[in-house]
Structure 1
């Protein structure tokens, strides 16, 4: 027997969807836009309030709140970015890039005031984002007693008597690079960065195993890519990747520091050995964080600056053949170490 069901009334159709009046949609969009505009206005007002009252700042533009002129800086050639503002505002102008309000100077007279005649009025530092990446305990973020005792330890690692012991290793680095430069066109600055980094690793860590140095080098190169990035710690951004690499680099250095602390013969030497042996220099013992931050800081300082100097040296030697010949002759008569 089959059971059939009958409905005395037709099955009701679903009620029609309510029609949202165009006015409501327009009002919603307007409200969203107004809210966004209000947020921007609040940020801008806050940004304006942070400007020093009663202070005379040079001409220029601070751009948008927080991001400033960073987008313009990245979408233009940096040389064009500064040249355009110099042409418009003069040799000294204000701007806001990489999350940091700043005043740019481009004349020798202004540079002399900042670096020489009025140097006591200025504190050398870096944007907060770069301080996070290098490490807040690094030498060049501090003044006073802490700066003095760290400077003493760092300089002791780069005395001529200390460097003399690494000449043969540095020579091997040069010999390793030379074949890769034959019969080809190279980017001198990039090659000098590679060379300077390898030398900096010897200066920082002394004699260490290649496997350990390779891992540290890879992490540092990832960190370096975020140095001049917008400080947005969001997944996928260069800054986020750099901070992640910085955390891993810190863990690697801490393991190396603990190994050195436990075994003084574990490939000692270099800046790391000096920082660990602070008591030998009549300086209070440093923490692992202080040591790690200063090792990274010295690599950072030695890397770009040294590479730039070497690039200019090579250019001047290339452009002045007489000078190149004189340097070559002088080198041939140097006593071999």
Structure 2
């Protein structure tokens, strides 16, 4: 459904080639040019939520989808946004459906949407080739130079990147809202830090991308990634016989490293169930913090926008549901008000 040429299903030279192309589009120097546009999407989203009771996770999925389209297609995405959304939303409904390709089934509808999505992508690619303009977005990276991919490979990997980035990023943002709401002192520290950066922008005309790292905000994000452990595990295969802690893992056996167990081990983090961003004032020991996986198959990119707002959680706050990623109960209903 994603496509056989997507990066997830390969290793070796082809995987290395794809990884290089994705990294090229998500390096800091490439991302910095679209930070104002990401901020604009965030501001627009916040304004549309003001005073309303919303489900944080669902709204974050919409937000991350819009950011993903911007990252992949640049400003061209505005021309195709609604068609891309319609097709992708129908496609994702079939991800966990029974693979029965019969009219009326979710799988059949998803496969139809997949073909339509590929047609839209082919149209975008064709127009870009006619215009002969170099783009620095992900699609431009896939199309560029001697390392350019075929149209089928591009379609598979564009859809794959949306799949990989959307729900996971939305989950992280939802958990950040929950943990900040439950820890007022941390929220206050983050707010003061952001206000300082805003003043710096007003006084010296600096953009977000011109500022240095934001230690408190960064630690909050890291601690959220540790506690929530959105990527709970990954799939690997033993390429040779391996002995681990007295157990033999035969060559060819499937191995699932459980990152959640690593992140919640008291051997690695004291009081692991406690949300405490200060623990990241010191870098964690190697191989104890792996929210994006590890090695050559780790996630090739991540980005976040930061804005000021107030929100309050509505309804139950302690439950957890899985869909399939761990989420606050009911997707975290909240009511949001912008700061004046």
Shorter chain as normaliser: what TM range? 0.5 to 0.7
Structure 1 segments unaligned to the other structure (5+ residues): 1-132
Q: Which residue of 1 aligns with 2:276?
A: none
Cα deviation for residue 209 of structure 1 reads 5.2
Cα deviation for residue 302 of structure 1 reads 0.9
Q: Which residue of 1 aligns with 2:142?
A: 275
2:21 to 128, 153, 163: 153
Q: Which residue of 1 aligns with 2:329?
A: none
Q: Rg bigger for which structure?
A: 1
User: Aligned pair in 2 of structure 1 residues 209, 139: CA closer, same or farther (>3 Å)?
Assistant: closer
- The alignment's TM-score, normalised by the length of structure 1, stands at 0.57
CA distances 1:41-72 after superposition (whole Å, capped 9, x unpaired): xxxxxxxxxxxxxxxxxxxxxxxxxxxxxxxx
Q: After TM superposition, list the pairs within 5 Å mapping 1:26-65 onto structure 2.
A: none
Q: Which residue of 2 aligns with 1:250?
A: 118
Judging by fraction of residues, say which structure has more helix.
1
Cα deviation for residue 161 of structure 1 reads 1.4
Farther-moved stretch of structure 1 (206-215 vs 322-331): 206-215
Cα deviation for residue 180 of structure 1 reads 2.4
Distance in 2, matches of 1:196 and 1:269, equals 20
Matched, 1:321 2:184: yes
2:132 to 249, 260, 264: 264
Q: Which residue of 1 aligns with 2:256?
A: none
Q: Which residue of 1 aligns with 2:88?
A: 220
Cα deviation for residue 211 of structure 1 reads 3.2
How many pairs align?
200
Farther-moved stretch of structure 1 (205-214 vs 242-251): 205-214
Structure 2 segments unaligned to the other structure (5+ residues): 208-340
Distance in 1, matches of 2:138 and 2:32, equals 15
Q: Which residue of 2 aligns with 1:167?
A: 35
SS at the partner of 2:94? Answer: coil
Cα deviation for residue 292 of structure 1 reads 0.9
- The alignment's TM-score, normalised by the length of structure 2, stands at 0.57
1:234 to 102, 110, 117: 102
Distance in 2, matches of 1:183 and 1:255, equals 40
Q: Which residue of 1 aligns with 2:159?
A: 296
Matched, 1:184 2:45: no
Distance in 2, matches of 1:184 and 1:209, equals 28
Distance in 2, matches of 1:209 and 1:189, equals 23
